[in-house]
Chains A and B, each alone.
Chain A
Amino acid sequence: MRVGLVCPYSFDTPGGVQSHVAELARVLISQGHYVSVLAPGDDSADAAGDFPDFVVPAGRSVPIRYNGSVARLSFGPMSYTKVRRWIRAGNFDVLHVHEPVAPSLSMLALMVADGPIVATFHTANPRSRMLAAFQGIQPTRLAELSWGSAVSDAARWVPVGLCGGGAVMDPNGVDVDFFASAEPLPGYPRAGGTVGFIGRFDEPRKGMDVLLEAMRYLVPERPDLRLVVVGAGDEADLMREAGPELAEHLVLLGRASEQGKARMLKSIDLYCAPNLGGESFGIILTEAMSAGTAVVASDLDSFRQVLGGGAAGLLVPVGDPFAFADGIATLLDDPLRRAAFVDKARAVVAGYDWQVVARTVVKVYETVIAADPRSVAEIE
């Protein structure tokens, strides 16, 4: 099958959507399909080799603040020409457009293409500013979509409200073996208890405040407890917020590669997800589960679902530092219970393995093609 994937964000910067698209492309290629990914990026000759071979860069991108972070997007006449040329040359059986909500390549692709189209919405937040700005023109075009598929159950309500198209569950995948086989960081695992957090810690909805408060309850009793943090954000700010009381218990590793994340997950006793909401899936939980690390998480719908209803990890009330501290203490003191969660998590996460997920995605493609049996072309 010839698959055209459109990613609205540049591969220059790491991000959930980019890694989802790249991983999907890799797995589809490994299953024998032809895949081309159109994404923003420098398309001059001297930049060749900066991206994986399956990526076709669509030209320079501009940074735009979106949903609390900076996204690099391409939009404009140059991109328009590039999208048309790519669709014409690709002769795709199916076009799979990711996050077609921002003014982006994805939107352009939807405006230009005709034929079997699948769309995936990654954001669970239906009311971002970008969306509001474009609400006037979106529904008319999006309603024409052959299909709206969403990354998770929570996220799927976005396309339903937006374009009136139905949705099919299309969960995120995780490369289980990659995380399972990572080496711990030097000096880990260590005695005294180590918990970890991955993500943009200065984003309030990630719940770092709750975790710090929980740590304050715990450290008087546990002088060796350590919190390892991976992710972007203002570190000075975080240390200020932690205060002298917690400073020596915090280890900040900054941003990390996928490899770095995997090694960190292997090094800790317990992964903490104190998020307050706005999570559409919880890919990070599946990564911790793959690494064989026990999880304590806020009781959000999306987390509950990933954690097999609470059988594969400990769920605690959202935004309650005391309950979170209690959860951490319980699991740190009970290795047997931790092992039971890890066992169950291993079984649950097998269903999220990329190979399994990609086979379902291909079935969605085949169904969409069966209902519209012609290749993707430019709209008349």
Chain B
Amino acid sequence: MIAAILVTVVVVLLLLSAFRLWLTAHRLDRLHKRTEAAWAACEEALARRIVAARSLAATGHLPPTDSADLRAAATAADRAPRSSRDTAEQALTDVLGGVSLERRGDLADELADAEERVTLACRFYNDAVRDTRALRASWFTRFFRLAGRARLPEYFDMPAIADGGKTVTG
């Protein structure tokens, strides 16, 4: 009788662990996908800002030195590898901050729009990273090596854009 109860208890426990294992693995998989997709969205937003910065450099009627700085910063941000992307994007933000008083019209609107999207997309990406890292840090995930060989996602230091991405225009 006691043996039967013990066996039942053990079986139920095993089933529960299996279920939790499956649930966690599933959730982790979704989080990894979400992180990747969020990074893609973030890159898209950053690319949009680079395009806006280049147009501003080309036709924004800026002083020649500002124009050259802006073009250089945009190109550096565009070519930066993932590991130094934050620094390059921050440098672009700084240059843009320096020329903001000169901004006028459509180009400025486009840039402000791109900046707002960068802020949103980066925040979204960092949320996904935080959730993924939190789940990966739990003992359950580590003990069963549920993360497998997936790379631990890195936070992206989002370029601090003044005024929450809303730039004062014209």
| Chain A residues within CB distance 8 Å of chain B | 143-144, 146-147, 164-166, 168-169, 360, 363-364, 366-368, 370-373
Contact = CB atoms under 8 A, between A and B. Distances in A.
B131 A363 contact: no
Interface of B: 27, 30, 34, 37-38, 40-41, 44-45, 113, 116-117, 120-121, 123-128, 130-131, 134, 164
Given A144-B30, A164-B131, A372-B34, A367 B117 contact: yes
13 contacts: A143-B131, A144-B30, A164-B130, A164-B131, A168-B120, A363-B113, A367-B121, A367-B124, A370-B44, A370-B121, A371-B38, A371-B124, A372-B37
Given A143-B131, A144-B30, A360-B116, A371 B123 contact: no
A166 B121 contact: no
A370 B34 CA distance: 11
A368 B117 contact: no
A195 B32 CA distance: 56
A368 B164 contact: no
Contact of B37 (A143, A360, A364, A371): A371
B48 to A, nearest CB: 10
Contacts of B164: 169
Contacts of B41: 367, 370-371
A147 B127 contact: yes
B131 A367 contact: no
Contact of A168 (B27, B37, B123, B134): B123
A165 B34 contact: no
Contacts of A366: 117
Nearest to B134: A164
B34 A363 contact: no
Contacts of A144: 27, 30
Nearest to A351: B166
A330 B1 CA distance: 85
A168 B116 CA distance: 11
Contact of A370 (B40, B123, B130, B131): B40
A371 B34 contact: yes
B146 to A, nearest CB: 16
A42 B36 CA distance: 43
A370 B127 CA distance: 15
* Most chain B beta carbons < 10 A, residue from A169, A372, A373: A372
Given A371-B40, A371-B41, A166 B127 contact: yes
A147 B41 CA distance: 14
Contacts of A164: 130-131, 134
A373 B125 CA distance: 15
A147 B130 contact: no
A165 B127 contact: yes
A89 to B, nearest CB: 25
Contacts of B121: 367, 370-371
* Most chain B beta carbons < 10 A, residue from A165, A363, A367: A367
B27 to A, nearest CB: 8
A363 B123 CA distance: 13
A368 B130 CA distance: 17
A372 B127 CA distance: 14
Contacts of A147: 124, 127
Contact of B120 (A165, A363, A372, A373): A363
A123 B73 CA distance: 43
A372 B121 CA distance: 12
A145 B137 CA distance: 20
Contacts of A364: 120
Nearest to B33: A372
B38 to A, nearest CB: 4
6 A-B pairs closest in CB distance: A166-B127, A370-B41, A371-B41, A367-B120, A371-B38, A371-B37
Contacts of A146: 34, 124
Given A370-B41, A371-B40, A166 B134 contact: no
A146 B120 CA distance: 12
A368 B131 CA distance: 16
A330 B169 CA distance: 37
Given A363-B116, A367-B45, A370-B121, A166 B34 contact: no
A168 B45 CA distance: 16
B120 A166 contact: no
A372 B40 CA distance: 10
A166 B45 CA distance: 18
Contacts of B120: 168, 363-364, 367
Contact of B123 (A143, A166, A372, A373): A166
